[in-house]
Structure 1
Amino acid sequence: MANQTILSPELNAKLDQLKVSLKDFSKVSIAFSGGVDSTLLLKVAVDVLGENVLPITVNGAMLPGSEFAEAQALAKEIGVPPLVIEADVFALDDFVRNSSDRCYHCKKFIFTQIKNAAIENGYRVILDGSNLDDMKDYRPGIKALGELNVMSPLKAAGLTKQDIRDLSAYYGLPTATKPAMACLATRIPTNTRITPEALKAVEAGEDYLKSIGLHQYRLRLIGDTAKIECDPADFETIIENRLVLVATLKDLGIRTVTLDLAGYGCGNMNS
């Protein structure tokens, strides 16, 4: 993983602060999803602490299978194969009901399992990849992290999402340009019950969008209607592939497929 960019003095100072904070721990466990943030955190932690780092990846219906596979490969490339734990989010009523605080309950449920697994393996410090920009968005799950004493060193070092992408490029990480990813449940309107079938439809639809070359997209599921959000520059690609896309989704119970002319918008399902 060769360096791909030169760091500004400000960003270099933030990186140094991150390294110093990690050095304060003899060993850490990291909630690792394979996304932009947790991948950078894992890379820097391994550079600082070597083998005294345990990435923990949660596998469950809220995570696309392709993302889980990528996380496995990334951790191994960095040099620390992750501990995988299974999470049955459908056993959590607060997840299924999908109220406005679903993310809090789900995050509490998942990170409790991460914390227990970390402690069982001799790790008492648990880190996550939250960054400074996360404070600007609607993130009820952050409260759960505080209650479980999960630490967010990227945020503490003042790193923004762009900082993290720049540092990822500096380290030559493949996630430097990876699009933002969120739990599949965020594609379902608040107060609409979440079912395994709904998440499977969202995952299949988004896998197809990825396969035809889209970079940033969401497939929102409103009843039996799929609403696709993407960069307006990709509208033509959607139209060119519409017949296969519609057939793919109709096989999964979707009756109507629409394209949002406003384009992709982060947090469009937030209440």
Structure 2
Amino acid sequence: MRAELSPSQVEQLAALRRAVGELGSVVLGLSGGVDSTLLAKVCADELGKRALAVIAVSPSLPTREQAAARDLAAEIGIAWREVATGEVDDPRYAANTGNRCYFCKHELFSRMVAIAAEEGYQALAYGENADDAGDHRPGRVAAREQHVCAPLAQAGLAKEDVRALARHLDLPVADKPAFACLASRVPVGHEVTPDKLAQVERAETALWDLGFDHRVRVRHHDTIARIEVPCELLAAVVDRAEAVAEAVRAAGFEHATLDLAGYRRGGGIATGAGTALPLARQG
């Protein structure tokens, strides 16, 4: 049985379908998160072969997430294409100032613009929702500059509305936690490099393989890994401290610490953080 929608959410879904249908044809970004997956589903329903999902391939994105996006596109039934993006080669991105996301989105949208121009698609779209307007989102500037529309936001969908519609449409990512790119694990002002991104990905993948969910974050502080998990999982990490520390050191870090403040969005923005607990005796 499909999940029930409130009357306002029924109207939002109808508004979303209208907004997508009016695009005529579209190239959209698909990351595999709930926002872009809902958008891809509605584009597939309303536009069929006139919709193309672009999946970015980049060192800043975990290979596991890229594979999940491919599987979702196939399940939804939307045409999709992987496109290599080169934001990590841009020194402005690598400098990791507060507008790093602008250069990432600009690179992706530029690739989408080229595809649309070469193949005759009428519009570009991405999965921004109405709640994102209140966040620091340099990528929105890139979207505006390159005329990339945000149908979810246009239909007034907040994050919880997006999840409700995703459940209603039986999308498997309806309750998937938000997942920022790997570069968000490097404190602002510290250079982002492919080696650092690969190191973070190895560490987080190892922790996922130990059974911790996608809310785990490994913040990169040179030789130190600062692990963030939701507060309810702190005890579980401590209970498995030796295995966690071993996994993180195998990824290339010298020290593994646990941030006692727990997981929080934007935990990589500042160099400083909450109190850190070493997870194993060092030296």
Q: Which of residues 146, 164, 174 is equivalent to 2:144?
A: 146
Partner of 2:40: 42
1:76 is matched with which residue?
74
Equivalent position amino acid for 2:264 in 1: G
**Hey, what does 2:175 align to over in structure 1?**
177
What displacement does 1:242 show?
A: 2.4
* Offset at residue 124 of structure 1 (A): 2.9
**Conserved 8 A contact 1:72-1:81:** no
Residue 29 (1) aligns with residue 22 (2): no
CA drift of 1:264 comes to: 0.9
> Distance between the aligned counterparts of 1:124 and 1:242, measured in 2?
53
1:92 paired residue number: 90
Compute the displacement of 1:90 (Å).
2.6
Task: State the 1:117 CA deviation.
Answer: 2.0
1:104 pairs with 2:95: no
SS at match of 2:257: strand
Q: TM-score, normalised by structure 1?
A: 0.95
1:215 is displaced (CA, Å) by 4.2
User: Structure 2 CA distance, aligned partners of 1:90 and 1:66?
Assistant: 19
State the match for 2:245 in structure 1: 246
- SS at the partner of 1:227? strand
Sequence identity, in percent? 36
8 Å contact from structure 2 (residues 16, 152) kept in 1: yes
Identify which of structures 1 and 2 has the higher relative contact order when contacts are C-alpha pairs closer than 8 Å and 6+ apart.
1
SS in structure 1 at match of 2:93: helix
Say whether the 8 Å CA contact 1:131–1:160 is kept in structure 2: yes
**Contact 2:186 2:192 (C-alpha < 8 Å) held by counterparts:** yes
1:255 aligns with 2:257: no
Which residues in structure 2 correspond to 1:103-142 (within 5 Å)? 103-142=101-140
Query: Aligned residue pairs: how many?
Result: 269
User: Equivalent residue for 2:280?
Assistant: none
Q: Give distance in 2, aligned partners of 1:102 and 1:11.
A: 34
The 3-state SS of whatever aligns with 1:175 is coil
Alignment of 1:213-252 (within 5 A): 213-252=212-251
Conserved in 1, the CA contact under 8 Å of 2:4 and 2:168?
A: yes
Q: Secondary structure at the match of 1:221?
A: strand
- Tell me the SS of whatever aligns to 1:50: helix
Aligned position for 1:265: 264
Matched to 1:107, the amino acid is K
CA shift for structure 1 position 252: 3.1
Compared CA separation, residues 81 and 242, structure 1 to 2 (3 A): farther
Does the CA contact (< 8 Å) of 1:138 and 1:270 recur in 2?
Answer: no
Give me the CA root mean square deviation.
1.4
2:158 maps to which residue?
160
- Are 1:58 and 2:49 an aligned pair? no
Partner amino acid for 1:226?
A: A
- Render the CA deviation track for 1:203-251: whole Å, top value 9, x for unaligned: 1121122221324222111121111111111123212332232222223
1:98–1:190 CA contact under 8 A, matched in 2: yes
Instruction: Give me the TM-score of the superposition, normalised by structure 2.
Output: 0.91
Instruction: Give distance in 2, aligned partners of 1:98 and 1:201.
Output: 17
User: Which amino acid in 2 is paired with 1:254?
Assistant: F
Contact 1:35 1:175 in 2 (8 A): yes
Answer yes or no: is the 8 Å Cα contact 2:26–2:121 preserved in 1: yes
In the alignment, the residues of structure 2 paired with residue 250 and residue 19 of structure 1 have an alpha-carbon distance, to the nearest angstrom, of 48
Q: Deviations over 1:122-143 (max 9, x none)?
A: 2130100000111111111111
Displacement of 1:13 = 0.7
Q: Distance in 2 between matches of 1:252 and 1:195?
A: 15
Stretches of structure 2 that go unaligned for 5 or more consecutive residues are 271-283
Partner SS, residue 41 of structure 2? helix
Structure 2 counterpart of 1:174, one-letter code: P
Instruction: Give 3-state SS (helix, strand or coil) of 2:46's partner.
Output: helix
Give the Å deviation of 1:255: 1.5
Q: Which amino acid aligns with 1:170?
A: H
